[in-house]
Structure 1
Amino acid sequence: MSNAARILNPTLRSKIMSAAEAAALIPPGANVGMSGFTGAGYPKAVPLALAQRIEAAHARGEPFRVGVWTGASTAPELDGALAKVNGCAMRLPYQSDPICRKQINSGEMEYTDIHLSHVAQYAWFGFLGKLDVAVVEVAAVLEDGRLVPANSIGNNKTWLDQADKIILEVNSWVNLGLDGMHDIYYGTRRPPDRRPVPINNPGDRIGDRYYNVDLSKVVGVIETNSADRNTPFTPADVNSKRIAGHILEFLEHEVKRGRLPRGMLPLQSGVGNVANAVLSGLIDGPFEDLTSYTEVLQDGMLDLIKAGKMRFASATAVSLSPEAALEFNQNAAEFKKSVILRPQEISNHPEVIRRLGIIAMNGLIEADIYGNVNSTHIAGTSIMNGIGGSGDFARNAFLSIFMTPSTAKNGAISCIVPMVTHVDHTEHDVHVIVTEQGLADLRGLSPKQRAKVVIENCAHPDYKPALHEYFSRALESSPGRHTPHLLNEAFSFLPEWRANQMKSAAE
Structure 2
Amino acid sequence: MSSRVLNRALRDKRMSADEAAALIHDGDHVGMSGFTGAGHPKTVPLALARRMDAAHAAGQPFKIGMWTGASTAPELDGALARANGVDLRLPYQSDPACRDRINHGDMDYIDLHLSHVAQYAWFGFFGKLDTAVVEVSGVLEDGRLVPSSSVGNNKTWLDQADKIILEVNAWQNPALDGLHDIYYGTALPPQRQPIPLTRPDQRIGEPYFRIDPAKVVAVVETNHPDRQTAFSAPDDTSLAIAAHLIEFLQHEVKAGRLPPALLPIQSGVGNIANAVLAGLNKGPFQGLSAFTEVLQDGMLEMLESGTLTSASATAFSLSSEALARLNADLASYRGRILLRPQEISNHPELIRRLGLIAMNGMIEADLYGNVNSTHVMGSSIMNGIGGSGDFARNAYLSVFMTPSTAKGGRISCIVPMVSHVDHTEHDVQVIVTEQGLADLRGLSPKKRAALIIERCAHPDYRPALHDYFDRACRGAPGLHTPHLLGEALAWHQRYLADGHM
**TM-score, normalization: structure 2?**
0.98
Q: Which amino acid aligns with 1:339?
A: I
Question: For residue 459 of structure 1, what is the aligned residue in structure 2?
Answer: 457
Q: Percent identity, aligned pairs only?
A: 68
Instruction: Report the Cα offset of residue 237 of structure 1.
Output: 1.0
Instruction: Report the Cα offset of residue 337 of structure 1.
Output: 2.7
1:190-235 residue CA offsets vs partner (Å, 9 max, x unmatched): 1111110011000110001100010000000011111101231011
1:289-326 residue CA offsets vs partner (Å, 9 max, x unmatched): 00000000000000000001000000000110111112
1:433-484 residue CA offsets vs partner (Å, 9 max, x unmatched): 0000000000000000000000000000110000000000000000100000
Question: For residue 471 of structure 2, what is the aligned residue in structure 1?
Answer: 473
Unaligned runs of 5+ in 2: none
Distance 1:192 1:238 in 2: 51
1:410-436 residue CA offsets vs partner (Å, 9 max, x unmatched): 100000000001110000100000000
Question: For residue 309 of structure 1, what is the aligned residue in structure 2?
Answer: 307
Instruction: Report the Cα offset of residue 336 of structure 1.
Output: 2.2
Residue of 383, 386, 390 corresponding to 2:384? 386
- How many residue pairs get aligned? The number is 500
Question: For residue 241 of structure 2, what is the aligned residue in structure 1?
Answer: 243
Alignment check: 8 A CA contact 2:17 2:43 kept: yes
Pick closer, same or farther for the CA change 1:282–1:129 going to 2, 3 Å. Answer: same
Pick closer, same or farther for the CA change 1:174–1:483 going to 2, 3 Å. Answer: same
Secondary structure class of the residue paired with 2:490: coil
Instruction: Report the Cα offset of residue 66 of structure 1.
Output: 0.7
- Which shifted more, 174-183 or 446-455? 174-183
Secondary structure class of the residue paired with 1:297: strand
Question: For residue 44 of structure 1, what is the aligned residue in structure 2?
Answer: 42
Alignment check: 8 A CA contact 1:117 1:344 kept: yes
Distance 1:380 1:3 in 2: 52
Q: Which runs of 4+ in 1 moved over 2 A?
A: 495-502
Residue of 250, 253, 257 corresponding to 1:252? 250
Tell me, yes or no, if structure 1 residue 279 matches structure 2 residue 265: no
Tell me, yes or no, if structure 1 residue 215 matches structure 2 residue 213: yes
Question: For residue 133 of structure 2, what is the aligned residue in structure 1?
Answer: 135
Distance 2:325 2:190 in 1: 44
1:232-291 residue CA offsets vs partner (Å, 9 max, x unmatched): 101111100100010001001111111100101000000000000000011110100000
Distance 2:195 2:18 in 1: 41
After superposition, the CA RMSD in angstroms is: 1.2
Q: Which amino acid aligns with 1:38?
A: T
Secondary structure class of the residue paired with 1:67: strand
- Which shifted more, 391-400 or 325-334? 325-334
Distance 2:335 2:156 in 1: 26
**TM-score, normalization: structure 1?**
0.97
Q: Which amino acid aligns with 1:83?
A: A
Question: For residue 265 of structure 2, what is the aligned residue in structure 1?
Answer: 267
Distance 1:165 1:387 in 2: 29
1:124-161 residue CA offsets vs partner (Å, 9 max, x unmatched): 11101110000000000000000000100000000000
Question: For residue 166 of structure 2, what is the aligned residue in structure 1?
Answer: 168
Distance 1:349 1:212 in 2: 21
Matches within 5 A, 1:53-452: 53-452=51-450
Q: Which amino acid aligns with 2:238?
A: S
Instruction: Report the Cα offset of residue 175 of structure 1.
Output: 1.1
Alignment check: 8 A CA contact 1:413 1:495 kept: no
Unaligned runs of 5+ in 1: 503-507
Secondary structure class of the residue paired with 1:301: helix
Secondary structure class of the residue paired with 1:140: strand
Q: Which amino acid aligns with 2:142?
A: D
Distance 2:104 2:2 in 1: 41
- Which shifted more, 284-293 or 335-344? 335-344
Distance 2:379 2:253 in 1: 41
Distance 2:51 2:294 in 1: 33
Secondary structure class of the residue paired with 2:452: helix
Distance 1:448 1:312 in 2: 41
Distance 2:451 2:140 in 1: 58
Q: Which amino acid aligns with 1:344?
A: Q
Distance 2:431 2:213 in 1: 49
Question: For residue 486 of structure 2, what is the aligned residue in structure 1?
Answer: 488
Question: For residue 505 of structure 1, what is the aligned residue in structure 2?
Answer: none
Instruction: Report the Cα offset of residue 497 of structure 1.
Output: 6.1
Q: Which amino acid aligns with 1:137?
A: E
Alignment check: 8 A CA contact 1:3 1:223 kept: no
Distance 1:282 1:498 in 2: 38
Distance 1:3 1:389 in 2: 38
Pick closer, same or farther for the CA change 1:3–1:476 going to 2, 3 Å. Answer: farther
Distance 1:231 1:252 in 2: 30
Secondary structure class of the residue paired with 1:493: helix
Alignment check: 8 A CA contact 1:65 1:86 kept: yes
Alignment check: 8 A CA contact 1:3 1:224 kept: no
Distance 1:381 1:472 in 2: 28
Pick closer, same or farther for the CA change 1:498–1:329 going to 2, 3 Å. Answer: closer
Distance 1:308 1:186 in 2: 31
Distance 1:280 1:420 in 2: 30
Pick closer, same or farther for the CA change 1:98–1:3 going to 2, 3 Å. Answer: farther
Alignment check: 8 A CA contact 1:113 1:386 kept: yes
Distance 1:38 1:442 in 2: 31
Distance 1:59 1:3 in 2: 39
Distance 2:94 2:230 in 1: 15
Pick closer, same or farther for the CA change 1:496–1:129 going to 2, 3 Å. Answer: farther
Instruction: Report the Cα offset of residue 3 of structure 1.
Output: 5.3
